[in-house]
Every structure is written in C-alpha cells, then in structure tokens.
Amino acid sequence: MAATHAHGDNYINHEKGLWSWLTTVDHKRIGLMYMITVMFFFLVGGIMALLLRLELFAPNAAANVGGVLKNGDVYNQVLTYHGAIMVFMVIVPGIPAILGNFFLPLHIGAKDVAFPKINLASWYCFMAGAALAILTFFFKKIDTGWTFYTPYSIKTGTATVMMVLGAFIMGMSSVLTGLNFIVTVHKLRAPGMTMHRMPLFVWALYSTAILQLLATPVLGITLLLLAAEKLFGVGIFDPALGGDPVLFQHFFWFYSHPAVYIMIIPAMGVVSELITTFSRKVIFGYTAIAYSSLGIAAVSFFVWGHHMFVSGQSETAGILFSFITMLVGVPTAIKMFNWVATMYKGSISFDSPMLFALGFLFLFAIGGVTGIMLATLPIDVHFHDTYFVVAHFHYVMVGGTLMALMGGFYYWFPKMFGKMFNENVARLSFVFIFIGFNVTFFPQFILGAMGMPRRYFDYIPAYEQLNKISTVGSWLILTGFLLGLWAIVQGLRKGEKAPMNPWNSKTLEWQTPSPPPHDNFNVEPIVTAGPYEYR
C-alpha cells in the first residue's frame, strides 16, 4: 500500500485516550463503541434470560430451584426487562450499529459516513435512552412486557413513562443511523461503485435504513402518546375515556412488525457475504437478493395485523392480514434458494463464520416456516400467546439475527483488530450455541402446541419435563457464549497478526490494511468490477 501514512498508523492508535474515543467521529470507532455497549446489554439481558429459565425449571410446588424469582411479580418484571433489553438494545441496533457502522463506508470506498457527528450523536442517544430504560429498574419497575399494551400499561406502576421515553430516544438513535446510511449510500460511493456493484450487505443495510426511517416515527408517536396517556390522561388509548386500546396495538405493530425486518434484513446481508466468501463462488442471483430485501421491506408494512388475530379486529381484516403475511414468504424464499444455489458445487470451507451462516440458514428456516404457520389464521387462534410463539420468535431473532451477528463478527474480526482469533474455540463455541439453542427452544414448540401459555411464571406438572430440557439448554448456550467470549478475548490479547485478507474475499474492505487506517484507504479505491468475482 502507498506509504502516505506512517507505518502502523490505524484507527485504533490514531489518537489516544478515553476522551478521544468519547469524542470520536470515526465510524469505525463508533462501531466499536456500539459493540462494547451492545455486548454489555446482551450480558444483562442474558443473565435475566437464565433467571427466567431457572424459574421455569420446575413448577413452583416442587421444593427446588423453581422459585428463584420469588413470585409472579418479579418474574413479570424480569421478563419485561429481558424482552425490552434484547429487542431495543441488542437485536435492533446489533448488526447495523456495530458491523454496519464499521463496514458500510469501507464497503463502498468512502472515508466515513455522510454525517460523522450525527453518527456520534446517535450513539449518545442510544446510551441515554438505554440508561433511562434501565434506570427504571431501580425506581419503580415495569411489568408490561416489551409490548407495553394498553390499558394495562397506563394502569400499572409509574415507570411506564420513563421506560417509554427511553425507548423513544433509542428510536431516535435508530432513525439517525438509518438516515446516515441512506445518504452515505447515495452520495459517498467511490468512483466506479455503482449501486449494482455494492456488496449485498450494503443493500441489506440500505433496505433496513429505509425501514428504520419509515417505521420508527410511528413507534415514536405511539410511545409519546402512551406517556401522555399516563401523565395527562389524554384518552386516546383509554377505554374508560372512549379511547381504543386496540388502536395502540395497531400503532405498535405498524412499527414492530417492520421492526422484525429491521432485525433480520441486516442479518441476511451478513449471511450473503459469508456464503459467497466461504463457497468461493459468485453469489447466485445478486439482483434478486438485493431487491428482495427491498421487497421484504415493502411488504412488511402491510402485515402488522397478524399480531392481532385475536384482538377483536374484524374477520375480514384477519383474513386479509393472513393472506398478505404469506406474501412475505416469497422474497424470503428467493433469498434462501439463492444462498443454497450459491453453495451448490462451491468449494465450501467450514471456517467458524461459515458455521454460523449455516446455523442461520437452518434455524431461520425453522423460524420462518413456523411464522407461516402462525400467519395461518385458524392455527394462530390456537397458538396465540403460547410458547409456540415464543419459540418462533426466538428461532428468528436469536437463531437468525444473533447467529448472523456472531458469524459476521468472527468474519470481520481480523479486519477490525488486525488479529486472528482461536479458530478451534470459535468452532466449539458454535457447536455449543447451536445445540444449546435447539435444546432450549425446540421443546417450546411442543409446549406451545400442548397449550402452555407464554409469560406465565408457573405451570402444571404436565409441562415439567420439556421445561427442564429447555432450561438445561440455556446452560449450553451460556457455555457457548462464554467460549466465544474467550476466543475473542484471547484473540485480542495474543492472536497472531492478521493478514490483509485472511479469507480471500473480494469486497473492498479487504483491500485496506488490518486494522484500517484512520481514513479507511490509503489511496482512494476505484472500482472496476462487481463485489464477488470469484469464478
């Protein structure tokens, strides 16, 4: 590389001291800041998950570990924080804020995102909102579940307002990140980097950003109205005042269904990168994958009612929502088939990032198929608010998004830190997470089909066996993540120096030193070909 920079100058040592990090406008550093904070929230949310599972190890009647959370009130609170933390602080920001921030500019040959200061501001928004939300735990706890359904949320404790404002501010952070990404993609591509030469991860982030921009404001106003309802009794959601509590659900899901695609589309982007790289093959159907992201984004706005089949909405609405929901399957299936076609006759190497990508394919398939089952109106009437739903969304959110995040993280780790991690430990970590995940959540499909309701802290003895298995699974997942953490920490401490392009990828970010210099590229790249010219 041209020696315009002193040898060894990179974004990590470009400036020194904590203050230089807290005031940085370098997208790579901001990505790392998100990484550290999101990992912290994941730890907190994860501990809560383990507690919930421990509580459910046995019915309370038995004199054993069942009963750690003392009673249903504490269980409901921990459940609420677990859900809210995992959704708003881990899965939604996860891939875009960590990997997106770090790699989007590198992917398109830009020096930074379009608005570096706003990028930093969005991290502070995220932190402020998260702090507000978590602090409620130390004042008056909230026990509404992460969906804040009215009228319960306007009747219970006072923490609703603070919690909801926290979520609102985190929403602003999400909007700012999305806005930044859209403008960056439109305006800052390197010479020759046409839209159709962008890596699929960028396409995914771009589609996600559009969703963030269009859906989040609706959640914003919904949460503000909820806070106003609680403080000033405005009457819009309060049935006692002629308001409509179901309207809250409509507003909430108008955001939160698209939000599940805010969670999964970036994951699909990561998986596209991983599959093509580790199959050493041009991705099959580049344009189909790129545009199916936009397709999913578009359809996602019209299906929110599938969360409300039993809410008392009209039968016609239920039937329509059921039908439209099925359409989501089409662009999703397009992606699935393209990934499989890419692997077909490829020379696949099973490095740990690829293992996570394959894990994603397997688990997301199960999550998606059960989603279609739930979208079928008569089936949902039976399964609604049972553990079947719990299993479904964990398969897509954890099995999907989190697997992709882990895969992407291992994949790009050498670029981010200039070091290699311990491959064997990483693979072992995958094995534990993958097996543990299935042991934990597959029994929940059966439990749900047997009729075990979700959000209950206790159950009848008939459900005991499967719950025991599920709880044991959660310990396997824990082991897996601890191994993963170890692989990373050891990699950071004593990993060997990473080459510029350890996986022989073709995308731009591998054309710059590891870790990248402050300005990303020592020489501005000029792009002359598509991102996956393998063979």
Partner 1 sequence: MSTDNSHGAIRSAHVSHHFKNATQEYDSGKQGIWLFMVTEILMFGAILVGYAIFHHLYPEMFEEGAKSLDWRMGFINTLVLIFSSFTMAISISFVQRNETKKAAMALATTVLCGAIFMVIKYFEYSHKFHLGLYPGRFLDVAKVGAEHANLGMYFGFYYAMTGLHGIHVLVGMGLITWLLIRTIRGDFHAQYWLPVEGVGIFWHIVDLIWIFLFPLLYLVG
Report in angstroms how near the CB of residue 206 gets to ligand HEM at its nearest: 18
Check binding of 121 to partner 1 (CB under 8 A): no
Q: 228 touches which of ligand HEM, Cu ion, partner 1, none (CB within 5 to 8 A by kind)?
A: partner 1
Rg (alpha carbons) of the chain, rounded to whole number: 23
Check binding of 175 to partner 1 (CB under 8 A): yes
CB 2 within 8 A of CB 509: no
Report in angstroms how near the CB of residue 367 gets to ligand HEM at its nearest: 6
Question: Residue 189, by phi and psi: left (phi above 0), alpha (psi -120 to 50) or beta?
Answer: beta
> What is Dmax (Cα atoms) for the chain?
71
Check binding of 187 to partner 1 (CB under 8 A): yes
Q: Kindly write down the DSSP assignment for every residue of 384-445, as one continuous string.
A: TTBHHHHHHHHHHIIIIIIHHHHHHHHHHHHHHHSB---HHHHHHHHHHHHHHHHHHHHHHH
Report in angstroms how near the CB of residue 388 gets to ligand HEM at its nearest: 8
Rounded to 5 degrees, what are φ and ψ at 386?
A: -115, 180
Check binding of 28 to ligand HEM (CB under 6 A): no
Check binding of 508 to partner 1 (CB under 8 A): no
Going from the C-alpha of 172 to that of each of 116, 131, 167, 175, 471, the distances in angstroms are 16, 14, 9, 5, 36
Choices 178-186, 289-297, 364-372, 438-446; region in contact with partner 1 by CB under 8 A: 178-186
Query: Which residues in 268-307 contact ligand HEM (CB under 6 A)?
Result: 306-307
Q: How many CB atoms lie within 10 A of CB 21?
A: 16
Chain residue whose CB lies nearest ligand HEM = 371
H-helix segments, 451-463: none
Check binding of 425 to ligand HEM (CB under 6 A): no
Query: Which residues in 311-350 contact ligand HEM (CB under 6 A)?
Result: 325, 328-329
Going from the C-alpha of 529 to that of each of 197, 338, 424, the distances in angstroms are 7, 21, 35
3-state class (DSSP) for residue 221: helix
Check binding of 14 to partner 1 (CB under 8 A): no
H-helix segments, 233-351: 245-279, 286-299, 315-343
Burial 292-331 (b: 16+ CB within 10 A, else e): bbbbbbbbbbbbbbbbbbebebeeeebeebbebbbbbbeb
Check binding of 257 to Cu ion (CB under 5 A): yes
Choices 109-117, 134-142, 387-395, 488-496; region in contact with ligand HEM by CB under 6 A: 387-395
Total of chain residues touching partner 1, rule CB under 8 A = 42
Query: Which residues in 243-302 contact partner 1 (CB under 8 A)?
Result: 243-244, 247, 251, 254
Check binding of 403 to partner 1 (CB under 8 A): no
3-state class (DSSP) for residue 174: helix
Q: 111 touches which of ligand HEM, Cu ion, partner 1, none (CB within 5 to 8 A by kind)?
A: partner 1
Query: Which residues in 221-250 contact partner 1 (CB under 8 A)?
Result: 221-222, 224-225, 228-229, 232-236, 238, 240-244, 247
CA 328-332-336 angle, 5° bins: 160
Interacting residue ranges for ligand HEM, rule: CB under 6 A = 147, 260, 263-264, 306-307, 325, 328-329, 368, 371-372, 374-375, 380, 383-384, 389, 392-393, 396-397, 400
Interacting residue ranges for partner 1, rule: CB under 8 A = 110-112, 114-116, 118, 175, 179-180, 182-183, 186-188, 213-214, 216-218, 220-222, 224-225, 228-229, 232-236, 238, 240-244, 247, 251, 254, 519
